[in-house]
Amino acid sequence: MVTIKKCYKKRALQSIFIFCISIFILSVAVPAQADETWDHTWNSMHTMWWDYSTETSGWVTLNMTNNSGFAWGDLNVEIWECSAPFVCNSVENVHFLEGIHDSMQTPQTDRSPFTYNIDNDSVGATLDYYYYNDPIATGGDTGMFKFKIDNPDGTIYTLAVTPSVVPEPISSTLFVIGGATLGFRRFRKKRKTA
């Protein structure tokens, strides 16, 4: 009976030791694939800069609240490398991933419908979301954007996030009418001189 208790005690200590070693290994390995969630409220139209302090790659979730006074119809996300405040350069080998990764689609958002454009070819990758049919209204409306970043070299980088205003239908219509009027006047002028 005493031997069985010693055996259980020994196994319990081994299990605790293995558990502690596992936690230590995971705590060292996980930051390289850490997922980030950022919540921010925009009270004006501006670019928000998020600096990573570790060599991170993984899923990024942006939870955005709009108090800017303008409805948003698209979102631009850029990858930069900032060595000091206001001293930023493009990053070469940090990219936005596209398609199915970790059994989830990337990029994604709660806006529906939406389209996106990823440009990983130029130095300094960009991701643009377009959701004009389901804009983020002002007055505290929120939106969620999720994407995955690949960072094979372990670069410390910064994300620049900029929402853009939905173009007003009246302004767009006036612009089109103005262009058509100028074109018609030019056409009539050419016709009179011919």
Quick: pLDDT tens for 58-67.
899 999 999 9
Measured between alpha carbons, how far is 70 from 72 in angstroms, rounded to an integer?
Answer: 6
The more confidently predicted of residues 26 and 146 is 146
Higher pLDDT, 167 or 143: 143
Question: Alpha-carbon distance 69 to 37, whole Å?
Answer: 24
Say if strands 99-101 and 126-130 run parallel, antiparallel, or are unpaired: unpaired
| Most confident of the ranges 2-6, 102-106, 141-145 | 141-145
Residue-wise pLDDT for 68-97, tens only, equals 999 999 999 999 887 776 678 888 889 999
Q: Do the Cβ atoms of 150 and 98 come closer than 8 Å?
A: no
pLDDT for position 27: 44
> Per-residue pLDDT for 39 more than 90?
yes
